[in-house]
């Protein structure tokens, strides 16, 4: 396996991404979207497509840049630092990975559209309050040559902006993944007013018709396609969370050097120094797990489960500590809406929950390690 | 080196190890009684231990990454990784461990003169001379730069007087690398020299101190008109602090891995699993899960920093490795004790050396600089918070 150091290409990609995002999507961009009641910026998405980001996991034959999972993680980390709101994970990482598991013209066409930036996908898996791809109630019942879908999904991230949905449904002898237009008759989408001001929806399905052509992969066998897509998403989300942690930490250390009390910088107080140093140590340990997950997905994707869950578990732990210390070490100003720290705290909470929380992923690690 | 060259190296290493590692040395034993420390008075515990050391030393593989001229094999990081994997594959013991390898060697490679390297490094690599570390004193622990042991020039010698404390294995060592004040008038960091002193002389005496884990591997060390030739100063006079700090970063990296690796290939599941219902209560299981997650991530971090060491260097981040690795090692041992229950409360009982190991881990976050000192280093040098 490659080393756990970023390659030259990865360093360049990170620098380029940082340069672009500092201009196009600093935290004030998210704040402005929230104030205007918007959850999707189509112009930003188009620019990401132009730079090859939406095609980061799309093969070159289908017009992608095919840079791989470690590179997707680099992009996600940079996005996390300024809380960039976009359907990058849902579409460019999760849907692209799912579509790549299938080799037919329709999948290639869908991948081409992802690379172009002309489609937004959302993943509709969870139904209850916790991530649980193993428990599905939404049913796709056989009807003539096709199916009828009935049930409801919740916490469908990017579900309002989405043109298409990947829907996990229970079928006769297992579960099946459908790839259908988000506006198909019988689908109702309700926006959720999320704490992180980002796009999420409750989606209900009433007698929604689907054909065999709408099935991604094989009937009764969703996991062959969905498992790699979830793992890719979890790894990239962990990377985004490390960016969120880095953003919050950077603000906090800056404040420790600037704010004065008792006639001196508060960063001179050892009680705060040691907490900051501990937090930095946690972020370093987490960074290793995230780099490792990206490498593993690129080099041995069949054996990535442990690496991915390790990364997501560590990311949950670290980002939670980073935003909590972030608010506390800022004192009163950290609690104000006018200051950005709150945005970090809110995104951290949503990201920690999405695609499996700490306990979910620690459990995966434990099983793999015989605990 | 290309992938193919590395595979060739792996094949050669495998064949050589198969042919040369004695069967008795393939039990993976790492406990204190099984370590080969080497030295002038070393008593090998078996013929196999001696054969294994001699063969590995002849190959340069006791210190694989050191230059060939100084007793190593000049291996790259990638080759060294492969060699470690191949040793682990046959469950081989390390042929030799020592403070010379972990601490003095890297410092001499960086600061020593060619003559000093030629004189001192090969005997370390061959396990012929055993070293100890004379840093701490009764009045200089965390505040190490306050050392008071004096070194005064007398002709071609330094004459040394004073007391060191917590000197690990001083009673077994042949030589000591010591921090000695050679200038009383300079600011405290700028009056210290790094001296190499032979302990086989009347002016050096040691007195063992017993540890809470039962053994007594560390000592008080007294210098009464002890002598060493001026050629035995590493770096320049009064500027030993730079050498001392550099050496500490290596010591910290070594301690952070818990000696032979945090995991040594075993999961907490494997360690605790036999205990049946030890993990059945929710609280213990939750702690075990978190510990395992952190351990795996830390093991990757040690690998990442070894990669870094070969490119940009580790520097002050060794404080992070030391802090995190040792606190984690303490947590792991607390969990093992908890899982062991009353079986783990008896010296040399059903859990073997676990009780002693558990107590010994408590020193990990003290020796080589305490956790609090590590956090201060991170906050000042890495985060650049005001001091
Ligand atoms: C098993 C073992 C082996 C050792 N082997 C060796 C050896 O071979 N050679 C050698 O030279 N030394 C050795 N040592 C000594 C070791 O390096 C010292 O014990 C260590 O540096 C701490 O110094 P101290 O014991 O004087 O504690 P002190 O410095 O007195 O510390 C007491 C407490 O105060 C805290 N503290 C001190 N200063 C600060 C500060 N500025 N801010 C916040 N907290 C602070 C410490 O963290 C600690 O909790 C060994 C120690 C042990 C336990």
- Could you give the CA distance from residue B338 to residue B272 in angstroms, rounded to a whole number? 10
Q: Which of B139, B240, B370 to mutate to test the pocket of ligand 1 (most atoms within 8 A of CB)?
A: B370
Among A289, A310, A370, the residue with its CB nearest the CB of B273 is: A370
| Structural domain spans, chain A | 8-119, 122-220, 223-368
CB contact under 8 A, A369 and B279: no
B334-379 pLDDT, tens digit per residue, is 988 988 888 889 998 888 888 998 999 999 999 999 999 999 999 9
State percent of chain A over pLDDT 90. Answer: 97
Give the CATH class of A122-220: mainly beta
How close is the nearest chain B Cα to the Cα of A241, in Å?
A: 16
pLDDT of residue A299: 96
Among protein residues, the one with the nearest Cα to ligand 1's atom 40 is B373
Q: Looking at residue A62, what is its pLDDT?
A: 96
B157-215 tens-digit pLDDT: 999 999 999 999 999 999 999 999 999 999 999 999 999 999 999 999 999 999 898 87
DSSP reduced 3-state for B62: coil
> B167: Cβ below 6 Å to ligand 1?
yes
Q: Is B339 on the interface with A (CB under 8 A)?
A: no
Q: Distance between CA atoms of B93 and B84, rounded to whole angstroms?
A: 11
Closest CA to A91 of A33, A156, A28, A138: A156
**Angle at CA of residue B108, ends B104 and B112, nearest 5°:** 150
Whether B234 has a pLDDT exceeding 70, the answer reads yes
Average pLDDT over residues A251-269: 97
Nearest to B269 among A274, A292, A371 (CB): A371
Mean pLDDT of chain B: 92
Residue B195 pairs in a beta bridge with B178, B233
What's the B368 CA to ligand 1 centre distance in angstroms?
Answer: 7
For ligand 1, whether the C-beta of B256 sits within 6 Å is no
| Sequential DSSP letters for A112-176 | HHHHHT---EEEE---SSS--TT----EEEEETTEEEEEEEEEEEETTTT-SEEEEEEEETTEEE
CB B301 within 8 A of CB B324: yes
Question: Which atom of ligand 1 is least distant from the CA of B369?
Answer: 21
Cα–Cα distances (Å) from B378 to A237, A257, B375, in that order, read 28, 15, 5
Model confidence at B259, pLDDT cuts 50, 70, 90, reads very low
Q: Which CATH fold would you assign to the domain A223-368?
A: Butyryl-CoA Dehydrogenase, subunit A; domain 3 (1.20.140)
Partners of residue A285 in chain B, C-beta under 8 Å: 294, 297-298, 301, 324
Q: What is the mean pLDDT of chain A?
A: 97
pLDDT value of position B340: 85
Nearest CA among A239, A254, A238, A236 for reference residue A341 = A254
How many interchain CB pairs under 8 A, A with B? 123
**B236 phi, psi to nearest 5 deg:** -100, 165
Q: What is the percent of chain A where pLDDT is above 70?
A: 100
Q: Is B375 on the interface with A (CB under 8 A)?
A: yes
B212-225 tens-digit pLDDT: 988 778 999 999 99
Q: What is the pLDDT of residue B217?
A: 82
| DSSP assignments along B341-386, one per residue | GGGGSSTTBTTBTHHHHHHHHTTTTTTTS-HHHHHHHIIIIIS---
Distance (Å) from CA B328 to ligand 1 centroid: 19
ipTM: 0.92
pLDDT, tens only, B302-332: 989 988 887 778 889 999 999 999 999 999 9
State yes or no: pLDDT of B79 exceeds 80: yes
What does DSSP say about strands A264-265 and B131-134: parallel, antiparallel, or unpaired? Answer: unpaired
Above 70 in pLDDT, residue B275?
A: no
pLDDT, tens digit, for every residue of A205-242?
999 999 999 999 999 999 999 999 999 999 999 999 99
Kindly give the distance from the C-alpha atom of residue B364 to the centroid of ligand 1, in angstroms, as a whole number.
10
Please, what are the domains in chain B?
A: 3-97 (1.10.540.10), 131-238 (2.40.110.10), 257-382 (1.20.140.10)
Q: Rounded CA gap, A158 and A333, in Å? A: 31
Q: Quick one: pLDDT at residue A371?
A: 83
Residues 6+ apart with CB under 8 A from A155: A126, A129, A192, A200, A353, A354
| Domain A8-119, CATH | 1.10.540.10
Q: Rounded to whole angstroms, how far apart are CA atoms A99 and A102?
A: 6
pLDDT at B260 over 70: no
Q: Which long-range contacts (CB under 8 A, 24 or more apart) does A44-50 make?
A: A44/A84, A44/A86, A45/A86, A45/A87, A45/A117, A45/A120, A46/A117, A47/A20, A48/A86, A48/A88, A48/A92, A48/A117, A49/A115, A49/A116, A49/A117, A49/A118, A50/A117
- The more confident residue out of B231 and B273 is B231
The pLDDT, as a whole number, for residue B261 is 47
pTM score, two decimals? Answer: 0.93
pLDDT exceeds 90 at position A1: no
Does residue B135 line the site of ligand 1, with CB under 6 A? yes
Q: Which two tokens stand for residue A104?
A: 């037919």
Per-residue pLDDT for B32 more than 60? yes
Strands B218-229 and B175-181: unpaired
Mean pLDDT value across residues A69-91? 98
Tokens of A103: 């080799």
């Amino acid at each position: 396996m490659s080393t756990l150091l970023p390659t030259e290409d990865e360093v360049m990609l990170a620098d380029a991404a940082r340069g672009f995002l500092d201009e196009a999507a600093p935290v004030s961009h998210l704040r402005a979207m929230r104030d205007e009641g918007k959850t999707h910026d189509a112009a930003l998405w188009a620019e990401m497509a132009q730079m090859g980001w939406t095609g980061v996991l799309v093969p070159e034959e289908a017009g992608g840049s095919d840079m791989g999972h470690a590179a997707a993680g680099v992009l996600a980390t940079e996005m996390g630092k300024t809380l960039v709101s976009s359907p990058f994970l849902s579409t460019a990482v999760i849907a692209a990975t799912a579509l790549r598991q299938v080799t037919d013209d329709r999948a290639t066409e869908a991948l081409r559209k992802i690379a172009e930036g002309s489609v937004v996908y959302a993943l509709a898996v969870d139904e209850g309050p916790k991530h649980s791809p193993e428990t599905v109630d939404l049913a796709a019942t056989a009807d003539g040559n096709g199916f009828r879908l009935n049930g409801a999904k919740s916490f469908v991230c990017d579900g309002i902006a989405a043109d298409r949905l990947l829907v996990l449904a229970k079928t006769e002898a297992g579960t099946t993944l459908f790839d259908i237009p988000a506006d198909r008759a019988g689908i109702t989408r309700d926006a959720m007013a999320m704490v992180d001001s980002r796009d999420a929806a409750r989606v209900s399905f009433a007698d929604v018709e689907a054909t065999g052509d709408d099935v991604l992969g094989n009937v009764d066998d969703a996991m062959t396609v969905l498992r790699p897509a979830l793992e890719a998403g979890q790894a990239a989300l962990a990377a985004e969370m490390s960016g969120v942690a880095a953003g919050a930490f950077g603000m906090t250390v800056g404040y420790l050097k600037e704010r004065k009390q008792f006639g001196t910088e508060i960063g001179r107080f050892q009680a705060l120094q040691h907490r900051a140093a501990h937090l930095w140590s946690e972020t370093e340990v987490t960074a290793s797990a995230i780099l490792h997950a990206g490498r593993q997905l690129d080099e041995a994707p069949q054996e990535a489960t442990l690496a991915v869950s390790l990364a997501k578990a560590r990311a949950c732990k670290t980002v939670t500590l980073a935003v909590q210390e972030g608010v506390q070490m800022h004192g009163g100003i950290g609690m104000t809406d006018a200051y950005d720290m709150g945005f970090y705290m809110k995104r951290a909470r949503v990201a920690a929950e999405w695609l499996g929380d700490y306990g979910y992923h620690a459990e995966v690690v434990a099983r793999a390690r015989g605990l | 080196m290309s992938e193919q060259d590395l595979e060739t190296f792996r094949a050669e290493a495998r064949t050589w190890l198969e042919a040369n590692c004695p069967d008795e040395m393939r039990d993976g034993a790492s406990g204190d009684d099984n370590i080969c420390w080497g030295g002038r008075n070393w008593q090998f515990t078996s013929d196999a231990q001696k054969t294994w050391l001699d063969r590995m030393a002849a190959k340069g593989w006791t210190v694989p990454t050191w230059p060939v001229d100084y007793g190593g094999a000049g291996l790259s990081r990638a080759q060294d990784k492969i060699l470690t994997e191949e040793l682990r594959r046959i469950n081989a013991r390390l042929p030799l461990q020592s403070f010379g390898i972990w601490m003095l060697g890297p410092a001499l490679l960086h600061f020593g003169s060619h003559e000093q390297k030629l004189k001192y490094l090969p005997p370390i690599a061959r396990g012929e001379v055993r070293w100890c570390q004379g840093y701490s004193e009764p009045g200089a622990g965390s505040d190490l730069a306050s050392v008071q042991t004096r070194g005064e020039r007398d002709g071609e010698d330094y004459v040394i007087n004073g007391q060191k404390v917590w000197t690990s294995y001083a009673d077994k060592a042949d030589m000591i690398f010591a921090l000695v004040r050679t200038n009383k008038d300079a600011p405290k960091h700028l009056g210290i020299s790094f001296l190499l002193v032979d302990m086989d002389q009347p002016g050096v005496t040691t007195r063992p101190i017993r540890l809470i884990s039962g053994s007594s591997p560390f000592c008080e060390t007294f210098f009464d008109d002890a002598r060493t030739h001026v050629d035995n100063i590493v770096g320049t006079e009064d500027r030993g602090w730079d050498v001392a700090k550099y050496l500490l970063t290596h010591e910290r990296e070594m301690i952070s891995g818990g000696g032979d690796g945090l995991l040594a290939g075993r999961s907490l599941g494997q360690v605790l699993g036999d205990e049946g219902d030890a993990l059945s209560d929710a609280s213990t299981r939750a702690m075990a899960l978190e510990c395992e997650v952190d351990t795996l991530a830390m093991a990757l971090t040690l690998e990442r920093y070894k990669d870094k060491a070969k490119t940009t260097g580790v520097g002050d981040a060794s404080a992070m490795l030391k802090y995190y690795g040792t606190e984690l090692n303490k947590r792991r041992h607390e969990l093992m004790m908890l899982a062991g229950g009353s079986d783990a409360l008896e010296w040399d009982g059903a859990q073997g050396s676990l009780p002693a190991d558990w107590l010994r881990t408590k020193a990990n976050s003290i020796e080589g600089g305490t956790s609090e000192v590590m956090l201060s280093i991170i906050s000042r040098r890495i985060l650049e918070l005001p001091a």
